[in-house]
Amino acid sequence: MDVWNYAEYGAWALSAVFAVLIILDWIKTDQTYSEEVLTSSREGELEAMTEEQHRGT
Amino acid sequence: MADFDITSKERDGMGPHGTNVGLLRVLGPAHVWALGVGIVLVGEYMGWNFGVAKGGAYAALIACWFAGILYTCVAMIDSEVTSTVAAAGGQYTQAKHIIGPLMAFNVGLYLVFAYTMLEAGNAWTVGYLVQTVAGMAGHSGLSDKPFIVLSILFLAWLNYRGVLATLTFNLVITAVAFISIVILFAMTVGNHGEFSLQHADLMSGQAALPYGWLGVLAAMHFGLWYYLGIEGTTQAAEEVRSPARALPFGTLAGIMTLIIAATLTWWVCVGLMPWEYLGISGVPLFDAARMSGSQFLVVLLGIGTLFATLASANGCINDASRAWFAMGRDRYLPGWFGAVHPTYRTPYRSIIFLVPIACLFATQLPLDQLVTFSILSGLLEYTFMPLNMILFRRKWPLDTIKRGYEHPFHPLPALVLLALCAVTFFAVFLGYGTQLVAMIVFYIVVSLWFHFWRYRFVNRGAQFTMPWPRPKGY
Amino acid sequence: MAKYTAPIQSKASQFIDVIVILVLTIVTLYLPSWLKLAGSSVVHKTVDNPTWDSLGQNATMVAKWNQLGYADAASAADTITARFDYSFTAINLIAMIVVIVGYYVIILRYSETEYRDVIAEKFDGKEK
């Protein structure tokens, strides 16, 4: 076992952490909000909303 | 143009946010330039050199310049349509309004696959780079898979949390990657003893044009890789201050930057490596740095490669998931994908869905095949563009809709583009014929699936969200 | 024309559609490569007892190969002799042209019929 072997395991572990973070938030979001709210976006609106988010409103 | 009510429920294109749009236009031409170059610059760090394998060093350079012409046509055509269709979704929205739903479905898939395969190629390169560095440090047999998966998942997470926060960071690392190429060029020209550039000797005899002129044609296949993704600048149409000026300017400046970067890259790489090796290299610029005899350059180009791949993959996840999301929102794909995260405002389900696909292809296929899938999807898209342009001018002549930008010499750029696309199809056919057929079969099958099954879930008139008059002849 | 109201798709049906797309992607794009049917058509010319000379490498090239870590001609022979097979028959070429042109014809024709529906519903049956 040298440092590169540890790096391999470390990379797997970090990948798992990111996967778990995404999946947990996904489940939480789907349970918190109704499907109507989540899919209420229409063409041309998404950019508007991301920008609002960006400006911190 | 017919006047319309901005609060109308019928025009869901703008909705209640429509009144806000004026405030959102914050980007200038420099941002457009940086956005385009950010996704594409990785093409100089990997992939372009497979063109050397297909036709030799000279062929790769000729292909690079011809591909430059192809992309100039793409930029001109795209600028005119985009300055009129100023909506996100880019070419997908254009196709929906100008050609029809099935074409739009295909164009959406082109975007998703071109970007997802490019993302897979980027992740593959990260894995290969780590492997190479480990090899230089004396460790053999390192698996590249954990590093591939890690880079995909990390960037997916970043995108999930909202990509705008990372965009500035992206621009900085792109700049570093670009400057690295210039420094590499500056430090390798001139006499460096055994580490000098030796074009004359390396390109003499059989190495000049190993496949003759047919090789030049064949190299056109990977010539596209120098620029693939520059058309993504149109995705910024809604956020640009003055699309009419910024989009053509930023995109064309981006293409010029890439032509310069590509030519410098070509010059340094073919002067340092025999073409047979260069043609199969996974990380050509990093290899060039190793051949330069300078430890500083090895570190710099290693960082440059890593940065370029991450910046590009980041942009790819963003664009691919937006396209997938846009299709879900119109019910071209299951409506479940049309969801936006209430806090992060990202198309989170689309981001998640594309992660395993990218992982599968990145860990299982060799780089040249990933690149070919990406190029083929791009090529199908560029073939669609001249058709789109000709129909756009026919259905809405210049006096019916005011364009932000009118490209000159119509229909010449469209016809040149169509001819260059035909040449490139033939180039892919040479050596990668089965992949070409596999890809087209895929698109034919999904098209039939869409037309005969999927389209029933799509509302007809509501998809047309532009405030345009009725097209001519309908 | 009458306004078309799309049916609401059930969760199960949506799920099946996702699976269909996934299966299509994997079967047509991944399987051919996995079965080694696709990919680059590279052939290797076998050279017995290769020397740098017989491989057509001049002194500069040999120096570069050495720098790259290929100590002798035998180790680099496989890389150097790899060549794409660009031979094709007229039938292959015609088949490819038919597939590509046919693909665009199918799309444009179906798109056209769908597009007429869209335009009719969008611009007829409304006051403006």
Cβ atoms within 10 Å of C67's Cβ, excluding its own: 15
Average pLDDT over residues C42-52: 84
CB of B44 within 8 A of CB of B262?
A: yes
Tell me the C-alpha distance between B300 and B289, whole Å: 8
* pLDDT single digits (tens) B433-464: 888 988 999 999 999 999 999 999 998 888 88
Tell me the C-alpha distance between B370 and B364, whole Å: 10
Paired tokens of B28: 């200038």
Asked whether the predicted pLDDT for residue C100 surpasses 90, the reply is yes
Question: Smallest Cβ distance to A44: which of B13, B134, B348?
Answer: B13
Question: Smallest Cβ distance to B89: which of A23, A43, A52?
Answer: A43
pLDDT at C49: 84
Please give the ipTM for the structure prediction. 0.89
Tell me the C-alpha distance between B154 and B148, whole Å: 10
The bridge status of strand C82-84 relative to strand C42-44 is antiparallel
Domains, chain B, with CATH or none: 25-461 (1.20.1740.10)
**Which is it for the CA torsion A31, A36, A39, A44, positive or negative?**
negative
User: B89 vs chain A: nearest CA distance in angstroms?
Assistant: 9
* pLDDT single digits (tens) B107-166: 999 999 999 999 999 999 999 999 999 998 888 889 999 999 999 999 999 888 875 666
Segments of chain A scoring below 50 in pLDDT: 46-57
* Burial bucket for residue B303 (CB in 10 Å: 0-12, 13-18, 19+): middle
Tell me the C-alpha distance between B346 and B342, whole Å: 8
Share of chain B above pLDDT 70, in %: 91
Average pLDDT over residues B57-85: 90
Average pLDDT over residues B253-260: 88
CB of A53 within 8 A of CB of B345?
A: yes
Domain count of chain A?
1
Question: Smallest Cβ distance to C9: which of B334, B442, B464?
Answer: B334
Average pLDDT over residues B325-354: 90
Average pLDDT over residues B361-369: 92
* pLDDT single digits (tens) B157-198: 988 887 566 667 777 888 899 999 999 999 998 888 888 899
Q: Which of C22, C30, C33 to mutate to test the interface with B (most CBs of B within 10 A)?
A: C33
CB-based contact, B54 to chain C, within 8 Å: yes
Sole residue written with tokens 């073409």: B275
Paired tokens of B432: 């990668």
C36 or B393, higher pLDDT: B393
Q: Determine whether the interchain pair B162/A53 forms a contact, defined as Cβ–Cβ distance below 8 Å.
A: yes
Tell me the C-alpha distance between B55 and B211, whole Å: 6
What residue numbers bound the domain in which A36 lies?
Answer: 3-55
Residue in B144, B154, B184, B158 with CA at minimum distance from that of residue B44? B184
Amino acid present at B250: G
Q: Determine whether the interchain pair B134/A4 forms a contact, defined as Cβ–Cβ distance below 8 Å.
A: yes
Share of chain B above pLDDT 90, in %: 57
Asked whether the predicted pLDDT for residue B238 surpasses 70, the reply is no
What residue numbers bound the domain in which C101 lies?
Answer: 88-128
Q: Which of C27, C29, C106 to mutate to test the interface with B (most CBs of B within 10 A)?
A: C29
Chain B residues in contact with C80 by the CB 8 A cut-off are 274, 276
Asked whether the predicted pLDDT for residue B244 surpasses 80, the reply is no
CB-based contact, B461 to chain A, within 8 Å: no
Paired tokens of B174: 């792109």
Share of chain C above pLDDT 90, in %: 41
Q: How confident is the model at residue B3 (pLDDT cuts 50, 70, 90)?
A: very low
Count Cβ neighbours within 10 Å for each residue of B326-350 and write b for 16 or more, e otherwise. bbbbbbbbbbbbbbbbeebbbbbbb
Domain count of chain C?
1
Residue in B120, B170, B35 with CA at minimum distance from that of residue B317? B120
Does any domain span residue C77? no
CB-based contact, B42 to chain C, within 8 Å: no
pLDDT at C127: 41
**Which is it for the CA torsion A16, A21, A25, A28, positive or negative?**
positive
Mean pLDDT of chain C: 87
Q: How far is C-alpha A35 from the chain's CA centre?
A: 18
* pLDDT single digits (tens) B288-302: 999 998 999 999 999
CB-based contact, C16 to chain B, within 8 Å: no
pLDDT at A17: 97
Question: Smallest Cβ distance to A41: which of B18, B150, B338?
Answer: B338
Chain A residues in contact with B465 by the CB 8 A cut-off are 42-44
Q: Determine whether the interchain pair B205/C58 forms a contact, defined as Cβ–Cβ distance below 8 Å.
A: yes
* pLDDT single digits (tens) C10-35: 889 999 999 999 999 888 888 877 77
In terms of CA atoms, which chain C residue is nearest residue B465? C122
Tell me the C-alpha distance between C93 and C95, whole Å: 5
Does any domain span residue C128? yes
Cβ atoms within 10 Å of B65's Cβ, excluding its own: 14
Does any domain span residue C56? no
Q: How far is C-alpha B196 from the chain's CA centre?
A: 34
Which residues, in sequence order, are CB contacts of B45 under 8 Å at separation 6+? B125, B177, B283, B284, B285, B286, B304, B305, B308, B309
pLDDT at B434: 85
Q: Determine whether the interchain pair C86/B445 forms a contact, defined as Cβ–Cβ distance below 8 Å.
A: no
Average pLDDT over residues B258-276: 93
Count Cβ neighbours within 10 Å for each residue of B244-266 and write b for 16 or more, e otherwise. bebbbbbbbbbbebbbebbbbbb
User: B195 vs chain C: nearest CA distance in angstroms?
Assistant: 9
Does any domain span residue C115? yes
Amino acid present at B186: A
In terms of CA atoms, which chain B residue is nearest residue A19? B153
Tell me the C-alpha distance between C79 and B54, whole Å: 13
Q: What is the dihedral of CA C66, C72, C74, C76, to 10 degrees?
A: 0
Q: Is A1 helix (H, G, I), strand (E, B) or coil?
A: coil
CB-based contact, B33 to chain C, within 8 Å: no
DSSP state of B229: T
- Ranked by mean pLDDT, the top range of B11-20, B366-375, B413-422 is B413-422
H/E stretch holding A31 reads helix A3-32
Chain C residues in contact with B197 by the CB 8 A cut-off are none
pLDDT at B51: 94
pLDDT at B25: 59
Q: Determine whether the interchain pair B365/C33 forms a contact, defined as Cβ–Cβ distance below 8 Å.
A: yes
* pLDDT single digits (tens) C76-86: 998 899 899 89
| Of B34-43, B135-144, B233-242, minimum mean pLDDT range | B233-242
Chain A residues in contact with B134 by the CB 8 A cut-off are 4, 7
Sole residue written with tokens 């664009």: B319
pLDDT at C50: 85
Asked whether the predicted pLDDT for residue B22 surpasses 60, the reply is no
User: B91 vs chain A: nearest CA distance in angstroms?
Assistant: 14
Asked whether the predicted pLDDT for residue B284 surpasses 80, the reply is yes
pLDDT at C95: 92
Mean pLDDT of chain B: 87
Size of interface B-C (CB pairs under 8 A): 217
- Those chains having 3 or more beta-carbon pairs within 8 angstroms of chain C are B
Question: Using DSSP, how many helices (H) and how many strands (E) does chain B show?
Answer: 18, 0
User: C1 vs chain B: nearest CA distance in angstroms?
Assistant: 11
